[in-house]
Structure 1
Amino acid sequence: MSDLIKPLRPSLSVIVPLAPAESEWQPLLEQLVALPPGSEVIVVCADEVSRLPPAAWPAHLHYRACRSEPGRARQQNLGASMASGDWLWFVHADSRLRADTLRELQRFIAQGSDALGWFTLAFRRDGPRWTALNAAGANWRARWLGLPFGDQGLLLPRACFEELHGFDEQAAYGEDHLLVWAARRAGLRLRHIPAVLETSARKYARHGWWRTTWRHWRLTLAQAWPAWRAMRGSGT
């Protein structure tokens, strides 16, 4: 290949939906300043919170903010429609990166394969210690059942996301779960990114570990059973 003709580096759009009264998103933005040049961060607010980036936001990193009607599926779809990147990374506002998170993310993107990537989940120490069991269960479910969830930082090519028709805005919950089922029906590979993405355990602290865990599994099974039957019926 001529030195004058070099392949373009794939670009990345990070989409961060903010629930009403969300208060934990600024520390995530402070970590995202380490993204490579040409990346962009799109914050989609469900209310009139400040849409300004941190004061020291780097000039090489594009930042956009917009308002959306509440609903994480709706917010993430809006962010995706505004994105200019070749890859979309959906990150919850209470997620936190570790030292190797962005390095492994860039390595995954550089491989250039059509796949839906997900990270190893870990809970922060802002809830019951039993959430370590929830993280272990989530990582087992993602690896062996092929069902990562949104707090594991879903990453995929924008073209693949568009072919899946985005998140289901009619779903009352579990839009990330349903996107993964759609990816499986479409034959899109699911691949583990070998790095940790942390998430908050505050809902377990607020509502109780057992109650929150039971509710999560009950709702997941209520969605998974018909999705599994539909996939079996289609022969995929």
Structure 2
Amino acid sequence: MPAPVSIVIPALNAADELPGCLEHLMEGLGAGLIRELVISDGGSADETRAIAQAAGAEWISGPASRGGQLRRGCAAARGEWLLVLHADTRLEPGWAAAVARHLQEGQGRPAYFRLRFRARGLMPGWVAGWANLRARLFALPYGDQGLLVRRGDYEAAGGYPDQPLMEDVALVRRLAGLTALPCAALTGAARFQRAGWLRRGARNLWTLMRYFSGADPEKLAAAYRK
């Protein structure tokens, strides 16, 4: 019987972060969870492809757009379950046991990881705490918390839309029964550290509010990248 989980990772010039992400997935291989690894690339000009191929990943390429890349990657994956991760995410040790338990006891519900930043200090903890509260109260985890979803539920929800921003929000709003896994996804903090924790956090919240108000994701992405 094939392993149940396909790992799908969108990438764009991710050579600095992808090796750490892949290293932390190794326990899933040992546990017999991972059927395949799919890297959906948006036109990397660095060593991302070489790293992916060395890891035995299936390589999917196309235009750079987070939603489009994820849509192509999930379409290529063959597992009963999809585990979608960002390239700068490193799953906490013990994640494989938590996922295996969820597959057996979670009644097929989609799930996400608790967020932690790979940075120390008060602000990383505060921002991660808000993100975890948002996910729990409003069933609104972001993509950097990972998403574990059964293929049938993913397809019934319409999958990821081909848009450059808020593709994760668009999908999880259509998924029922989201639950948190009892382990963390440790994500990179570079954007917060460059912009400032409060400024980046406020911009993220403002972007979310504009999206809910009907703003064009293309325009939001352009503003987000500035």
Is TM more than 0.5 here?
A: yes
Which letter does structure 2 place at the counterpart of 1:26? P
Q: Which has the higher helix share?
A: 2
CA shift at 1:110, angstroms?
2.3
* Percent identical: 28
Q: Which residue of 2 is the match for residue 96 of structure 1?
A: 90
Moved over 6 A (4+): none
Structure 1 residues 56, 168: CA separation in 2 closer, same or farther (over 3 Å shift)? Answer: closer
Q: In the alignment, is residue 40 of structure 1 matched against residue 36 of structure 2?
A: yes
Q: Which runs of 5+ in 2 are unaligned?
A: 215-226
CA shift at 1:150, angstroms?
0.8
Q: Is the 8 A contact 1:117 1:192 kept in 2?
A: yes
Residues 8-58 of structure 1: per-residue CA shift (max 9 Å, x gap): 47610000111245531111112212223352111111124432347985x
Q: Which runs of 5+ in 1 are unaligned?
A: 1-7, 227-236
Q: Is the 8 A contact 1:45 1:68 kept in 2?
A: yes
Q: In the alignment, is residue 135 of structure 1 matched against residue 128 of structure 2?
A: yes
Structure 1 residues 116, 55: CA separation in 2 closer, same or farther (over 3 Å shift)? Answer: closer
Q: For 2:115 and 2:63, locate their aligned partners in 1 and report how far apart those are by CA, in whole Å.
A: 28
Structure 1 residues 32, 53: CA separation in 2 closer, same or farther (over 3 Å shift)? Answer: farther
Q: Which residue of 1 is the match for residue 167 of structure 2?
A: 175
Q: For 2:52 and 2:77, locate their aligned partners in 1 and report how far apart those are by CA, in whole Å.
A: 20
What number of residue pairs does the alignment pair up? Answer: 210
SS in structure 2 of the partner of residue 130 of structure 1: helix
Which letter does structure 2 place at the counterpart of 1:205? Q
SS in structure 2 of the partner of residue 203 of structure 1: helix
What TM-score does the superposition give when structure 1 sets the normalisation length?
0.80
Which letter does structure 1 place at the counterpart of 2:202? W
What TM-score does the superposition give when structure 2 sets the normalisation length?
0.84
Q: Is the 8 A contact 1:13 1:83 kept in 2?
A: yes
